[in-house]
Amino acid sequence: MIKNIVLGSINADFLFKVQEFPHMGQTTHCYDFMPMLGGKGGNQAAAIARLGGDVCMVGKVGKDAFGPQSIENLEKQGVDISNIIFDEIEPTGTAMGIVADNGENVIVVSKGANGNVNQADVDLIEKLLPQSHYLILQLEIPMEMVLYAIDKAKKFSVEVILNPAPAYPIPKNYFSKIDYLIPNEQEASEISGREITDLTTAILAGKDLISFGVRTVIITLGNQGSMLIRQNEARLFPAISINAVDPTTCGDAFVGGVVVGMERGYKLEEAILFANCAGAITATRFGAQPSLPQHQEVEKMFNEIKNDYVIKDLSI
């Protein structure tokens, strides 16, 4: 039984580590270079699988060398790869990331085959939906295909989890079809139209998104942790103290943690704490999928901190 479907991007990633970001027009040398396999869809599928969840990846790769490598890599992680398609025209999507020693990062993405995901590709999820709990989506494939997939999920009463990355305008009539919206603070700002500068404005942006029709909003706030916002409720989950070296894939690990936590029957608050642990461990390692933790690591941290962890109720 496939309990979770990830529909999204699959990329070849190239990570450059530098002491500090170059200025405009400046050339700088990296001191480490790491070619990896990623894409937000692939990362989230891998995160779910590594945390012990059942997951099928639906997406597209090119017929270049990175396509078969990406599929083989996901299969090794434990992801069902039977619905990944080879595109006849475009190469596999690529992403270039630059990570500075202070932990800041920038990413540039070329969509490649991800941009060619079409209705026929999305139709592959229809045979999976009757046996699924969650459909997990991002915005690295065409928006119209994301919306098309959401409509299909609703026909089968499958809950939709949307990580709106990168942020694009979402049609207002689709917010009520999203069960869990998981943006970071920048994405929440762009989608809500409200600038987030502190916890108060994060609450207000979350309330705006709830007013649009989303049932549950979870905003990741970097070194401040994450925030759960529902109707008449806002709760802060403080960040776990770690030595962060690369935040590149933390958001994908967090999404995977929420999915697996809920799949196991955790209360949503427990699932968010589990996801905080997954994101924290990921931040201590460089790279995309290689940095994602295994279930045993996250479970160990979760059990060590859960009894003393304090969730802060915030005024709404």
Q: Using CA atoms, how far apart are residues 248 and 99, in angstroms rounded to an integer?
A: 8
**pLDDT at 1 (0 to 100):** 64
pLDDT score of 221 more than 80: yes
Residue that is written with structure tokens 């995901």 in the block: 117
Q: pLDDT tens digit string along 190-203? A: 999 999 999 999 99
Q: How many other CB atoms are found less than 10 A from the CB of residue 13?
A: 25
> What pLDDT, on a 0 to 100 scale, did the predictor assign at position 23?
83
Q: Show the tokens assigned to 187.
A: 């994405």
Which pairing describes strands 55-61 and 180-181: parallel, antiparallel, or unpaired? unpaired
Q: Report which of 161, 309, 297 is spatially closest to residue 225, judged by C-alpha positions.
A: 309
| pTM recorded for the entire structure | 0.92
Reported as type and span, the H/E element at residue 135 is strand 134-137
Check if the beta carbon of residue 230 is closer than 8 Å to that of residue 210: yes
Q: Are 105 and 247 in contact (CB under 8 A)?
A: yes
Per-residue confidence (pLDDT) for residue 230, from 0 to 100: 96
DSSP state, residue 102: T
> In sequence order, which residues have a C-beta less than 8 Å from that of residue 171 and are 6 or more positions away?
147
The Cα–Cα gap between 173 and 107 comes to 30
Q: Which of 101, 252, 308, 313 is catalytic?
A: 252
Judge whether residue 248 has pLDDT over 80: no
Which CATH topology does 4-9+41-92+114-313 take?
Answer: UDP-N-acetylmuramoyl-L-alanine:D-glutamate ligase (3.40.1190)
CB 227 within 8 A of CB 237: yes
Residues 31-85: pLDDT tens digits?
Answer: 988 888 889 999 999 999 999 999 999 999 999 999 999 999 999 999 999 999 9
Residue % of the chain over a pLDDT of 90: 79
* Calpha distance 238→212 (Å, rounded): 26
- Quick: pLDDT tens for 156-185: 999 999 999 999 999 999 999 999 999 999
Residue 83 is inside which H or E element, if any?
Answer: strand 80-86
- On whether the CB atoms of residues 85 and 35 are closer than 8 A, the answer is no
Query: Is 151 one of the annotated active-site residues of the chain?
Result: no
Check pLDDT > 80 for residue 310: yes
Mean pLDDT of the chain: 93
| Bridge partners, 14 (sequence order) | 35, 96
Confirm if 3 and 236 have CB atoms less than 8 A apart.
no
Instruction: Please check whether residue 59 is in contact with residue 141, taking contact to mean a CB–CB distance below 8 angstroms.
Output: yes
DSSP strand pairing (216-220 vs 226-230): antiparallel
Would you say 93 and 39 are in contact if contact means Cβ atoms under 8 Å apart?
A: yes
Residues 248, 182, 307, CA angle at the centre, nearest 5°? 85
pLDDT of residue 285: 83
Give strand pairing partners of 145: none
How far apart, in whole angstroms, are the C-alpha atoms of residue 212 and residue 229?
A: 13
